[in-house]
Amino acid sequence: MRLSDIGYKEIINLSDGGRYGQLSDSELLFEPSTGRIRALLIPQYQGKFSFFDRGDFMQIPWDSIKKIGEDIIILDTAARY
């Protein structure tokens, strides 16, 4: 699967039902020695006008991803947070 194939899928957290936007809004952390994806950096929007108010990023380990479906990416952070 290519990164461009999953770019516009909605990210959903299985543990609390939270919606984290689309992968295209996020950034990826790579392991420099192997080139493998290490984590997702998901923006934590603060304030009412989130388009203009970008806050910090929440780091989600790649192994938290349980399923990449046709329209969504399901992750489970219950064991981590």
In order along the chain (81 residues), what is the average pLDDT of each group of 10 residues? 70 88 80 90 63 69 90 82 47
Which pLDDT does position 1 carry in this prediction? 58
Domain with 33, as residue range(s), is 3-75
Residue 81 CB-density burial (10 A; 0-12 exposed, 13-18 middle, 19+ buried): exposed
Give me the number of domains the chain comprises.
1
Is the residue at 46 inside a domain? yes
Is the residue at 80 inside a domain? no
Is the residue at 23 inside a domain? yes
Q: Please report how many Cα atoms fall inside a 13 Å half-sphere around the Cα of residue 32, on the Cβ side.
A: 0
3-class DSSP state for residue 71? Answer: coil
CA distance linking residue 62 with residue 27, whole number of Å:
12
Is the residue at 39 inside a domain? yes
**CATH number for 48:** 2.30.30.240
CA distance linking residue 24 with residue 26, whole number of Å:
5
Which pLDDT does position 74 carry in this prediction? 92
